[in-house]
Structure 1
């Protein structure tokens, strides 16, 4: 049986019909075959020069280069016979070969007979007198590399062939190949023998094409001599023509589910299963609670999240995707433009600010659909959101207190308006500024509040330093610089309500791009997500619908949310809210967020990353993957581990799938206009100009509802100025 190894630089284009020039060479041992070639190590890699020679072949010009290494195992009895012959030759050479004469016959008894038997496969010859034991160095010199400890031995046929459109090009390629094999020179070396006659050329070509094993002379090589060319390229082989495996990564779990659209599975990407076939791997919905996706920008984190979001949306789940730049929504929109899902889709896009542009609104202080006991949750969400975005920490206790008290007062007034059937008379975030800076407006509304609330504003607030109020109103002033944010936060009634989205399986995309207040907006949204999740305590566990949330650019989100991402990962599992975050650098996350996500994650995924980031992730996998493997991942390839049947898996490779490849059957760009109309209906979207015009009169509307008085240019604060 012949084993053939073919080192070939293939031709990617059909070879032209012009004359071709071919160089042929067979490499044979120049000296006796018991003299060894050099035993090549791993550094430098013996394949480096060979791979570099192959890389220089211009396949586009029709050049090719082939190295064929044919191996036939040598039987043990043949090897033993060869050793006996070599020993006999060594003995005839006498003292000059050994340093002392070996007397007696080759097959004599005694010690010499035992040595001969050991080196000849167990054969002995009876008779003869005892002989003095030869030195072991003499024995090794006699048999050379064929001593028993050398291991397996192979008969070798090594053929080189190059082809090009110019004779010098073919010769140059051949010389490069010969130079690569020159590194094997040691006690012995390989000599090129070129066929010259027509018969020898035909004989060479027949062996080259058919694999016929007829080497020009006997040449036996041991494993140490061949190992350098039989192993795969190592990391030390840096030639561009080497296809990298990407490092050692454990195989995918044998019981990893295959995704074909099942509702209870979340697609991950294509995975090579144990049978060698590539399928779409998936995590089970019941096992995937929180996830963290890491790696370089542009390597597919957002794409993987969009694939999961679209899959969950079509499976009937509620989803929430925070897309800071709006690019994800543009990618996903055509795949959601279907009648069975359009009635559930919400789009919050803060990049639009033209007067006739239809937009949705959100009032974080709205009390529609909420009981009086929910005031404390609303106050906390607004206060913590603004305080975190402003990075107050513990350094602004007065500002935090004033903000909380102001939010409380307006939330109580809003509850009264809703109870009276006038939700359009609710205060928004912009009324916080009016409450704090317009003393006449505030004093006319104070009597509508409980006495314990009035006491703070009548007794404590006037004593606070004047510089505390501007600290609070600064955040509102920032919102007031963008018409898009004025329209989003300036309507008394909320079309956006994340608790409603959770309970009715809405598909929500939030794109807070377009202003310098993105951090503040994202922070308010994250705090509201946390509040809404906790509010599901009022729903029995078996009636809580699973709701999926994705947060892109997690580092920026974490810097503004100040711990609430950690709270989501730690608390919302009980309320069927699942969260997956994407970020380029886990080391830039705050310690509390990073620790919480890693502690509770059931999906950890990384694409290519910087070495420090890669080392950080690799440590979480207990050495199953090296940092070098992660740094060299190709684009859109990941290493990830998941929870499967309640147990963490070892990391495995995943190739990311673009949306258009996995969900081509959902692509419906023609349905986008209908989807836009459905979103207008779903969110009761109104023109920006209309919302801004109503916001100008909202202070007066609130005052009119609660007191029957409207402040104007002639009767501001005058209790006798009444509204008919």
Structure 2
């Protein structure tokens, strides 16, 4: 039997040996939890550096930016062309991300549902049935119209001439009926009450130069299917300190949704021919919608293998928390607060009380390892530092240049469709 590649993440303090997860067991997903500054980013960096060395394809969604920049420094020369670097703060060569780009008719309702889920999560404080109904019909209408973008929503709701031209081309009878028989009949005052909340939200996106540069482009310049099915390495730098938290969450959610859909399109590929794809998501609670439970439960058969990290359980709603704890194979626990430690207490024997989890030093962990399809008893360890064999700072500029050339568009030539 051929030995499987193993990604090592810690050294066992009990057995004085490296601890890792093989390819088959990574398909059951991995989950890391712990307070800020305890070593979660180093854990990710070490694992991704090994994935690079193995020739694996993966994505990293980084809401802070440092991890994305650090992994670029670990990209060996022979993998420079595999990297797709998305950095919305790069306003000189913005990459196109069109929510309303060309969609097959068979996928249209699924795409619409994903877009609505992203909006619902982003606007949870002001979301209501009326807003959802309006957006559902607006999104479905624009998905039928070539060259629509997120910014087209503004026109659809404010420009009657544009709206009429869209409605005339809509083939879905239910969607068309909404615009012709319901929306058009609202008195002007009521119309304002209905559309204002949406216009305020979309308007905020439109005035954010980072989002406008990307979501305003007609063509999505990144091929998510190619990344997942080829040898792609997708590095997403969402530094919320530069582009804003709302913008980071919207863009990150959109990218995660696209990776999910690309994975699901593998249904036509025999399972044993599907290439493993590893999706690393830091602060994953910011990028997950209500469909996340389905991703975690079904992703394994599509070879979409998740590596998730966040700080504390209170960041997750009850449904997501229960799904994560029930479905991940390998769990890595860094220092955490007493409330979380009490919840995880049931994972340990009496000799490891919750106080151990509260008092861990940086890089110290307790882990439950998935090995050969079975979860082992918890053990303690220290996370490994990244292997620096491929650490070549000189490659960072080359990677950025290649991604700009292949996927970006010069700002002075960018034609935003408004």
Q: Please, what TM-score do these two structures have when normalized by structure 2?
A: 0.90
The structural deviation recorded for 1:649 is 0.6
Q: Which of 107, 113, 119 is the matching residue for 1:386?
A: 119
Q: Which of 257, 263, 281 is the matching residue for 1:533?
A: 263
Whichever of the two has the greater Rg, that structure is 1
Instruction: Say which structure is richer in helix.
Output: 2
Contact 1:642-1:648 at 8 Å conserved across structures: yes
Q: Which of 118, 138, 146 is the matching residue for 1:406?
A: 138
Contact 1:505-1:547 at 8 Å conserved across structures: no
Residue 606 (1) aligns with residue 338 (2): no
The structural deviation recorded for 1:480 is 1.4
Q: CA RMSD in A?
A: 2.1
Residue 519 (1) aligns with residue 249 (2): yes
d(CA) in 2 for partners of 1:531, 1:471:
29
What aligned pairs does 1:44-443 form with structure 2 within 5 A after superposition? 264-272=5-13, 274=15, 278-288=16-26, 289-336=28-75, 338-353=76-91, 357-367=92-102, 370-391=103-124, 396-414=128-146, 426-443=147-164
Residue 551 (1) aligns with residue 281 (2): yes
CA shift digits 1:60-97 (9 cap, x unpaired) = xxxxxxxxxxxxxxxxxxxxxxxxxxxxxxxxxxxxxx
CA shift digits 1:98-147 (9 cap, x unpaired) = xxxxxxxxxxxxxxxxxxxxxxxxxxxxxxxxxxxxxxxxxxxxxxxxxx
Residue 498 (1) aligns with residue 224 (2): yes
Match of residue 322 from structure 2: 595
Match of residue 722 from structure 1: none
Q: Secondary structure at the match of 1:413?
A: coil
Q: Please, what TM-score do these two structures have when normalized by structure 1?
A: 0.53
Q: Secondary structure at the match of 1:665?
A: coil
Structure 1 residue ranges without an equivalent (≥5): 1-261, 415-425, 700-724
Corresponding pairs, count: 406
Match of residue 665 from structure 1: 389
d(CA) in 1 for partners of 2:61, 2:213:
19
Contact 1:552-1:582 at 8 Å conserved across structures: yes
The structural deviation recorded for 1:516 is 4.2
The structural deviation recorded for 1:462 is 1.6
Match of residue 480 from structure 1: 206
Change in 2 beyond 3 A, CA 1:589/1:445:
closer
CA shift digits 1:442-497 (9 cap, x unpaired) = 21233322261433211122234412222222331121122111111111111124
The structural deviation recorded for 1:291 is 1.8
Q: Secondary structure at the match of 1:310?
A: helix
Q: Which of 626, 631, 634 is the matching residue for 2:361?
A: 634
CA shift digits 1:673-696 (9 cap, x unpaired) = 22222222342x1123432xx11x
Contact 1:334-1:671 at 8 Å conserved across structures: yes
CA shift digits 1:281-323 (9 cap, x unpaired) = 2111101222221112111011101211222233222211110
CA shift digits 1:626-648 (9 cap, x unpaired) = 21222222211111011101111
Residue 542 (1) aligns with residue 266 (2): no
Residue 449 (1) aligns with residue 173 (2): no
Match of residue 181 from structure 1: none
Match of residue 617 from structure 1: 344
d(CA) in 1 for partners of 2:270, 2:257:
23
CA shift digits 1:366-408 (9 cap, x unpaired) = 11xx532121222111111112211169x52222122121211
The structural deviation recorded for 1:508 is 0.9
Match of residue 181 from structure 2: 459
Residue 469 (1) aligns with residue 214 (2): no
Contact 2:69-2:237 at 8 Å conserved across structures: no
Q: Which of 586, 608, 611 is the matching residue for 2:313?
A: 586
